[in-house]
């Protein structure tokens, strides 16, 4: 640290810091530590947003071998229905001519048509705020609407980007319903 003592008008006398520059080194070390900590924290949040979405059905993690779940433009988690439906014990049928998927479980029957916000549960019309999609060879459906129509409890944990679906009403985490429901 330098301090100045005015001796005469327009002349300044400098006194050198007597601690050998240790104060300046400490200041630099603190600034570097703060910069590294901020960089680390920002990279963690970026990494969390890049995590793939996981789906757990009745306590078992679902494997999606060729098509991954995603969050659509309406903030709904879309999943390939065959994998989730079969994990729930449902029959999943696709009609390519009408572009409809039918999911049947116990006494419940859910019918969705690609690109349509209307769907049926046991013959009664309902409406979603998003649509089922056909991507590649897979039919993606909004997991909350379909799972709840089949009688399951659905919870979303945004921190770890995981959907919990349970047919016994025991989904394991409290929901964070801000995104991805």
Domain map (residue ranges) of the chain: 3-50, 54-166
Q: Residue 54: phi, psi to the nearest 5?
A: -105, 150
Q: Which CATH class is domain 54-166?
A: alpha beta
Which two three-digit tokens encode residue 181?
Answer: 């429901």
Nearest-angstrom CA–CA distance, 37 and 58: 39
C-alpha count within 13 angstroms, C-beta hemisphere, residue 168? 5
Instruction: Say yes or no to pLDDT of 17 above 90.
Output: no
Residue listed under structure tokens 């039918």: 102
pLDDT digits (tens, 9 = 90+) for 148-177: 999 999 999 999 999 999 998 655 544 444
114 contacts: CB under 8 Å, gap ≥ 6: 99, 100, 101, 131, 132, 133, 134, 139
């Amino acid at each position: 640290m330098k301090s100045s003592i005015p001796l005469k008008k327009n002349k300044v006398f400098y006194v050198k810091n007597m601690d050998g520059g240790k104060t300046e080194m400490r200041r630099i070390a603190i600034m570097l530590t703060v910069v590294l900590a901020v960089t680390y924290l920002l990279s963690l949040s970026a990494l969390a947003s890049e995590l793939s979405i996981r789906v757990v059905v009745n306590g078992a993690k679902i494997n999606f071998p060729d098509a991954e779940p995603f969050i659509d433009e309406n903030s709904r988690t879309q999943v390939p229905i065959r994998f989730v439906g079969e994990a729930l014990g449902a029959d999943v049928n696709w009609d390519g001519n009408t572009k409809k998927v039918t999911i049947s479980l116990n006494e419940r029957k859910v019918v969705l048509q690609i690109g349509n916000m209307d769907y049926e549960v046991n013959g009664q019309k309902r409406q979603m705020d998003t649509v089922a999609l056909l991507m590649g060879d897979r039919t993606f459906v909004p997991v909350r609407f379909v799972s709840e129509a089949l009688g399951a409890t659905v919870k979303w944990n945004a921190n770890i980007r995981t959907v919990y679906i349970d047919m016994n009403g025991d989904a394991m985490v409290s929901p964070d319903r801000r995104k991805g429901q």
